Structure formats: structure tokens, C-alpha cells
Chain A
Amino acid sequence: MLRACLRGANATARNNFGKTRLTNLQHCRHYTAGETSGGGAAKVVAAGLVTVGGGIGGTILYAKWDNKFRAAVENNVPYSDWLLGLALGPPSPKSGLPIKKQEYKDCHEHQDTSVTAAVHPDTESPTATEPLKERPVEEVAAILAQQDQEEQDIATCSLEESLTSSAKATLQAIGAQEAALQAITRHTLKLKEAMEAEVPPQEKSAQWKDLEAALADRTGAVNDAETALSKANEALDSLKSVIDKSKGLKVSAVRPLVLAAEENLHNMVVDLDKVVTKVHSAESEAKIVSQYSELVNEAKQQFQREVSSLTPEIQANWKGLTGKLSSDDLNALIAHAHRRIDQLNRELAEQRVREQIHIDAALEQQKLEDQKALEKAVSTALQHIKEEARLEQERKLSELREVMEAEMRTQLRRQAAAHTDHVRDVLKVQEQELRVDAEQVLSSKMLEQETRYRQLSQEQLDNFTLDMNTAYARLKGMEEAIDSHVVAEEEARKAHQLWLSVEALNYTLKTANADIPTVPLEGAAQAVRDSCHDSDFALALSSALPEESLHRGVYSEASLRARFNSLRSLARRVALIDESHNSLYQYFLSYLQAALLFEEKQEAPPAQLCSEDLDPFKLLSYASYCLEHGDLELAAKLVNQLRGEARRVVEDWLTEARLTLETRQVVSLLSAYANAVGLGTTQAP
């Protein structure tokens, strides 16, 4: 919140910054005359400036302290980065581990060299893999060689690296050890000097100081030597591990390098050991000297204690005793000195007595120590010699191995050649045998397959013929059934057609109106004739139709009946006229008869006509009766019995009646025939 407010204040301040200055100046210019108002305005202006300056300064200070705030301000407020850069300098980086980066840089440089060495083979190998498919063997060998080269390079690099590092470390250690040695010797010398030299006390203190300094040096040097030694050991261990690893790589070309590295390692180890032994000896000497110095100090202390116990009032530093001591003290001192001398003499005698024992013991100790040292030296020498022998052996081994490998290679080559020849011959023979066998088997199998195939095909053929026959028979049967069906249907159709045409013909008979005959039956008759090509009977019948009916049509029974009724009176009037009686007088008489004679209008005709029935009047009444009862045929027959003029009068009617009767007969016959045929063709359900 505070920051936001500050930022806002800054922003507004900056926005107004430029303007306010000008306006302030302007204000100042304007208000120079009026001081009080100018003063008030100036106060306001000053307060504003102070606030703005304070805000900006606070922001800058806080940005200096807090980088995140600075970044936030730079992000949000424009031109603040310029201002902050002016005020504080460029922003510091966020990481707080520069040293380690430096170290990593060094390491990376090392690794880069090795990596660059390894990269080259890598770049080479992809180009090598592309033509791999064309010539695999050579390229594979090349790739393998390259891989070996890579490994070798890596190994050599690592070896060299570790060699150099271990060499450095070893040198460092050796140097440190030598320095330590020198320091120790210096210290020892100083100590000896301090012990034995008789120098004035001032220099003594300086000497002691030097001694202390030397001691400090010695300890420091010894520590440094120890650290350097440990580092060198580490480096040597790493080198050993690298050597082992590179021994693990089965690349022959690395071996001499490995051998050389091992030799170097051995030399370094040897040097280091020598220096270490030197340092140890110096240390032991220094120990002896220090022990001696300690003993001396102890003796001195003892003596001083004794002296002080004797003369307690004397000061601690007995060198300042000259001139301060009294005779008693001197006597006491001399007595004490005599006693001390006696004691020492006694001790000396004892010591001489026990000299031998001490010497023996010392000798024993010395022997032991010598033994130990000898053993140690022997062991180290043994180790070194072993190491040398091993290295020698390895060298010899590698040489021998190379020689053996070359020989082995030639032998193998010879063997391989012999083997290939032998294998070729054997393969040829085998191939022949196998071929013969295979061909035999093949031929037998083929024969079998052929026979089986023939059998199967024959079977198939037989089956097929059977099926075909059955199918054919069925087909034939079906065809026949269909044909018969077709024929039957055709017949039925024809019959139907015939029936239809006959019905049409029948219908045309009904088209007669009151006095108009039917339509000419020609069309219908033609239709009938068309629909009965194959039936002679029907053809005969249809041709039996009278011409008049075909061309002109026939009259209906009703019209004939009506006509007859009108005819009847006429026929009655001319009843007496015939060939012989045909004068006018006869006509008059016949008319008179017709007027005077009364007969029954309709009289049922008898089954047989006798001569009395041939009377025209009687005949006409019979005919009327028949007509009234729909029997045109009988009426026509009866009318046919008329003679003379009456006959001539009814002639036309008779022909018409005959026509009608004929037509009707034919049509009814045809209809019956069509019905019969239709019935015949209709299939019973």
C-alpha cells in the first residue's frame, strides 16, 4: 500500500514535475511584488517540493535497499529505471554465489576441452552412419575404430587430467613436505642452539621468541604438509581409480598410456614416500631434540626448585643472583651443589653400572625401532619393487600380448581361410545332396497332388454334370409348365376375348331403337372373327352372319312386332288377292271381307297346322299371338304360310324377321360357344 502510494505520488509528482517548475517560476515572477501572497504561495510551493523530493528520495533509498521494489518501480513507472540507474547505478544480479561460478567455469573449461575432443568424433560419426547402409562392414569397423578413438581420447584426457592434477598435488605435497622438513630442521637447530648456546639473556629471550616463531612455523608447515599430503593422496587415489577405469576399457591403444600413467603414479608415490620418510626422520630427530630440551628444561626446573627451596627469598631468575647472595646462602648453595654432585656421581656410577643394561635396553629398543623402521622401509621398498616389477610385468605383458595378438591374427586368418574353403566344399556337397532329396520329395509330392487334383476335379465335374442335368431337367420341366401355362393363358385370353367380342356383338343387337335398326354388325363381327382365328367353328359361324345385318344391321323384335301390327290390317285387306284374283273387283271384295270378318286378335297356334289353319286371318292371329309372346320364329313361320298378295305385302317384314332370327341364332351360337370355351379354360379353384 505504502509503495503504491509512493509510486502514485511519484507518478503524479513526475507528471507535474516539469510543469510545476515552470509554473512555480511563473508564479514566482508574478508574485514577486506581493510578498505575503507570494510568501504563502512560496510556502505552498516549498512544501510541495519538499514532499515530492522526500517521496523520490525515499523511493530511491528503498529501491537501493530492496531490489524487488526497484524492479517493481521500474516495471510500473516509466523512466524510473533511468532515474534509478542515475541514482544507484545498474541493478545488481540476483545470484549470490559468484565464487562457485568461477570454479565451475574452470571445471567447465577443462571439460570443454575433453568434450570438444569428443565432439569431433561425434560429428564425424553421423556423417559416417549415412553411407552405413551401402558399405556396412567397413563403416562399422570405422565407427568402432572411431568409438575406440573416442574412448581412448576420453581416457587419455581423463588420464592426463588426473595425472596433471595428481602431479600438481604431489608436487605441492612434496614441496609442502620439504618446507615442513626445513621448518622442522630449522626449529630443531634453533632448539639445539637455544639449549646449548650460552648467550646473554636479552638475546635469549629473542632466541626463545625466534624459537616460538620457528615452532609456529613448524606446526604450520607440518599442517600444510599434512593437508598437501592428504590432497596428494586423494589425487593419487583418483588417478588410480581413473587408471583402473581406463584399464576396464578394453582399448588396447590406451594400455601404454595406462602403463605410463601407472609408472608416473608409482614414481610420485615413491617420491612422496621418500619425502614423508624424511619428514618423519626429521620429526623423530626433532622429537629427540625436543625430548632432550624438555629433559634439560625439567632438570633446570628441578634445580631451580631446589635452589628456590633452599633460598626462597631469592628471585626466580637465578642468573641475577650474583651480588645478592649472602655467604650462608652461598655455603648452602655450595653444599647443595656438593650434594647434587654426589648425587649425580652416584647416579653416574649407577648409570655406568646399569650402562650395559641401559645400553642393551636401548639397543633392544633401537633394534626394535630399527626393526620397525627396517620393516617399514623393507615393506615400502618391497611395495615399490613389487610395483615396479608389476609395471615391468605389465609392460612385458602388453608387448607380449601385442606380439601374440599379431601372431594370433595371422593364425586366425589362415584358419579362417582354411575353414572357409572347407566349409565351401562341405556346403557344396550338402547342397547337392539336399537338392537331390528335395527334388525327389518335390516330385513325389507333385505327383500326389496331381492325382488328388485330378480326382477332385473329376469328382467335381461329375457332381457338376449331375447338378447340371438335374437343373436342366428341372428347367425343362419348368419351361414346359410355363409354356403350358402360357398356352393355357393364351387360350383363356383368347376365349375371353372371344367371349368379350361375342358379348359386344350381343350388345350391338340391343342398340336397335324403335324403328332404327341396330348399328351395322360389321365391326363387332370383325372383332369376333379376329378373336377366333384358330376356331373354325367360330369362324364359320361368324361368316354365317347375313350380309344385311353386317352392313345395315337388324331390327329389333319390338320394332318388328310394331310393324306387324300395322301390317296385319293390310294383310287382312288383301287376303283374297292372289295370282288369279287380282282385279279391282277382287280388291273391293277383299276389302269388304276384311271389314266384315272378325277374328281373334291373338290365338295360340296349335302344335301342328291343319288346312283350315292356313286361312290368312287365322295365321295372322296366330302370328300375333306368337309375337306377343316373344316367339318371332314361330310367327315368321306362320307368316311364311301366307300366300298371294298378303304374302307379297309381308315379304319385307318376313325377310327382316328372317334376318333378325338368323343373326340372333348365330350370335346365340357364338355366345354359347364362347361360354363353353371360357368355361373350358377357366381353372377350378
Chain B
Amino acid sequence: MSEKELGKKWDRCLADSAIKLGTGLGLGIVFSVLFFKRHTWPISFGSGVGLGMAYANCQNDLRSHYLQHRSKKVTHT
């Protein structure tokens, strides 16, 4: 079902962003704890990185149809 694709994409997107955010946060926390003497900037850096990656992935996923991968059918009409 083509209408479920968007939902699936959003699910992936959210799952991915959650993971990334979490991972980023986690890494940030870890780095902050480990390497950066509990500064907050690795956490925010890491979460930011994570968020950014998630955002980028999400966007890429959502516009994947319109990009160069011509294996998929492009229906214009």
C-alpha cells in the first residue's frame, strides 16, 4: 500500500531519530563524563549530532523517491 509508506517512513524516521538522539546523547554523556570532565557541551554536541543525523536521515528517507535511484518507478502522470 502506497499510503502506508509514509507512515512507515515516519516510523523509521522517528525510530532513527530516537536512536540517534539517544546515542548522541549517550555518547555525549559518555564523552562528557569520560573525556570532557562533565561539561555539558559534549552532551549537547552529541545530542545535536544525533538530532542532525536523524534529521538528515529522515529527510533523505522522505525524499528518497525523488532522487537519483531510478530503480523505482517514477510516476508523474
Contact B62–A570 (Cβ < 8 Å)? no
Binary flags per residue of B50-67, CB closer than 8 Å to A gives 1, else 0: 000001001100110110
Q: Which one of A226-234, A642-650, A671-679 is at the B interface?
A: A642-650
Contact B75–A650 (Cβ < 8 Å)? no
Which among B1, B3, B62, B77 is the interface contact of A584 at CB below 8 angstroms? B62
Q: Given known contacts A582-B66, A643-B76, is B3 in contact with A570 (CB within 8 Å)?
A: yes
**A502 contacts the other chain (Cβ, under 8 Å)?**
no
In the complex, A650 Cα to B4 Cα: how many Å?
Answer: 10
Output the nearest chain A residue to B65 by Cβ-Cβ distance.
A648
Distance in angstroms from B58 CB to nearest chain A CB is 6
In the complex, A566 Cα to B7 Cα: how many Å?
Answer: 13
Q: Given known contacts A570-B6, A648-B2, A649-B2, is B63 in contact with A583 (CB within 8 Å)?
A: yes
Q: Given known contacts A584-B55, A648-B75, is B2 in contact with A653 (CB within 8 Å)?
A: yes
Residue total for A at the interface (Cβ-Cβ under 8 A) = 22
List chain A residues, Cβ under 8 A from B58. 584
Distance in angstroms from B70 CB to nearest chain A CB is 13
- The DSSP consensus for interface residues of chain B is helix
Q: Which of A577, A587, A640, A647 is the most central at the interface, judged by chain B CB atoms within 10 Å of its CB? A: A587
Interface residues of B in 20-67 (CB under 8 A from A): 55, 58-59, 62-63, 65-66
Contact B3–A653 (Cβ < 8 Å)? yes
List chain B residues, Cβ under 8 A from A643. 76
Contact A567–B59 (Cβ < 8 Å)? no
Contact B75–A649 (Cβ < 8 Å)? no
In the complex, A640 Cα to B58 Cα: how many Å?
Answer: 28
Contact B6–A649 (Cβ < 8 Å)? yes
Residue total for B at the interface (Cβ-Cβ under 8 A) = 15
**A130 contacts the other chain (Cβ, under 8 Å)?**
no
In the complex, A567 Cα to B62 Cα: how many Å?
Answer: 18
List chain B residues, Cβ under 8 A from A650. 2-3
Which among B3, B5, B6, B75 is the interface contact of A566 at CB below 8 angstroms? B3
Q: Which of B1, B3, B62, B77 is the most central at the interface, judged by chain A CB atoms within 10 Å of its CB? A: B3
Distance in angstroms from B8 CB to nearest chain A CB is 12
List chain A residues, Cβ under 8 A from B5. 648-649
**A612 contacts the other chain (Cβ, under 8 Å)?**
no
In the complex, A579 Cα to B3 Cα: how many Å?
Answer: 17
Contact A582–B3 (Cβ < 8 Å)? no
In the complex, A645 Cα to B1 Cα: how many Å?
Answer: 14
Distance in angstroms from B15 CB to nearest chain A CB is 16
Contact A651–B76 (Cβ < 8 Å)? no
**A652 contacts the other chain (Cβ, under 8 Å)?**
yes
Distance in angstroms from A270 CB to nearest chain B CB is 176
Output the nearest chain B residue to A640 by Cβ-Cβ distance.
B77
Binary flags per residue of A91-119, CB closer than 8 Å to B gives 1, else 0: 00000000000000000000000000000
In the complex, A579 Cα to B63 Cα: how many Å?
Answer: 8
Which among B1, B62, B75 is the interface contact of A582 at CB below 8 angstroms? B62
Q: Given known contacts A579-B66, A643-B76, A651-B75, is B2 in contact with A584 (CB within 8 Å)?
A: no
List chain B residues, Cβ under 8 A from A578. 66
**A574 contacts the other chain (Cβ, under 8 Å)?**
yes
Interface residues of A in 146-176 (CB under 8 A from B): none
Contact A652–B63 (Cβ < 8 Å)? no
In the complex, A566 Cα to B1 Cα: how many Å?
Answer: 12
Binary flags per residue of A623-659, CB closer than 8 Å to B gives 1, else 0: 0000000000000000010010101111111000000
Q: Given known contacts A570-B6, A584-B55, is B1 in contact with A652 (CB within 8 Å)?
A: yes
Distance in angstroms from B64 CB to nearest chain A CB is 9
List chain A residues, Cβ under 8 A from B55. 584
Output the nearest chain B residue to A647 by Cβ-Cβ distance.
B75
Contact B1–A574 (Cβ < 8 Å)? no
Additional A-B contacts beyond A566-B3, A584-B59 (14; CB < 8 A):
A563-B3, A570-B3, A570-B6, A582-B63, A583-B59, A640-B77, A645-B6, A647-B76, A648-B5, A649-B3, A649-B5, A650-B2, A650-B3, A651-B2
A residues apposed to B, CB below 8 Å: 563, 566-567, 570, 574, 577-579, 582-584, 587, 640, 643, 645, 647-653
Leading 9 A-B pairs by shortest Cβ distance = A582-B63, A652-B2, A651-B2, A579-B66, A584-B59, A649-B3, A652-B1, A567-B3, A570-B3
7 A/B residue pairs, CB under 8 Å, sorted by A: A570-B3, A574-B6, A578-B66, A582-B63, A587-B62, A649-B3, A649-B5
